[in-house]
Structure 1
Amino acid sequence: MRKIDEQKKLNITQAVIDLVEQDGLTNLTTAKVARVAGVSPATLYIYYQDKTDMLSRIYEIVKDELHDGLVSALEMVIDDLDQQIRAVIKFSVQQYRKYPREARFVQTLWNNPELLDDHAREYGTELDTVLGQLFQTILNSANYAALSESAFELLLATPTQLLLRKPEVQDKEIETLIEVIIRAIHA
């Protein structure tokens, strides 16, 4: 069994993020990834079964990195569901601004779920995660509109979608948008 070279995996991850940013998903090939990462094409298959597996696992890793610190942000407002929703949205905006390339990568794949496997599509919203628990609480509450989890995810992602289109958007507009979202999801 081959030893996992963490530096090679990191190089592959960065190459995928760079290539998706530069060339888009449709032009992404394993040969390009290997070339940019400085590894042989065969090396990719040590770590990933195929392109879908590679995109899915990297999506999960980057999503974990972007969600790092979310639990702490939510612990400050544990008793108020509206405040938790605000905290999630503000945290997402903060992470987007701090890690724009990684956030755009996750958003690109989120908008192209057919390129991910089932596990990656569900990743981060399972009931054992803080976001999964928050969505379940919202869905079970009579105070919020009877929307699907996917609809709530889309609404909560609106500020980061705005940042994708208009990176220079001011905090005041983000704050206003958050308040509009909170009002919109109430029953």
Structure 2
Amino acid sequence: MKKRHLDELTKGIFKNITKPFIDNIDISRSRTHELSELHYFSEIKKLISQISGGEFIEEEDVRFKPTGTDIYLDFSMVSSSTKSIYLIEKIIKHELKPGSIIIIDEPELNLHLDNQVLMARLLATLVNSEITVVITTHSDHMLREINNLIMLGSGNIEEEDQQELMSEFDIDKSCLLTSEQVSAYVVSSREKKVFPAV
């Protein structure tokens, strides 16, 4: 009843809002069961928890519990980056299955540099879970980490060295990529064209 009332109230106000935005609102409102069909689902959940710094609790409303505390924060009290991570988590846990496509505009937005690295690993793990991931980014940190994951997964590094690097930097094998799994493009606003990055 409340949702219907809210929808009726906002119908006129939001009539010019794009469909993806409305879809995001619907996803965040939904209370569906986890699909967990993704091959590296536990690693994906772990990375999301590391990036957000806690876990999202969905009961009557959404609350956030920071890692290592007994504090439960109302969703209105968390940062904008945490709210973005919540939506990404919802889509991954409840919408994606092998063969799905996810498009994320600037997934690094408002993230600390260390978390940008973790976001790159999360995206790589999604790719290895048979998800097609399309992003736009301005983050050198994310691009550098994706490059690192490609180098580690290329097979050109001795296995012992690879294991040592993965252990030192806490990289799970589910994050490793090959160059065939990644395509990069540069958007030229001046020429209004997209060019393959070489």
Task: Identify the structure with the greater strand proportion.
Answer: 2
Task: Identify the structure with the greater helix proportion.
Answer: 1
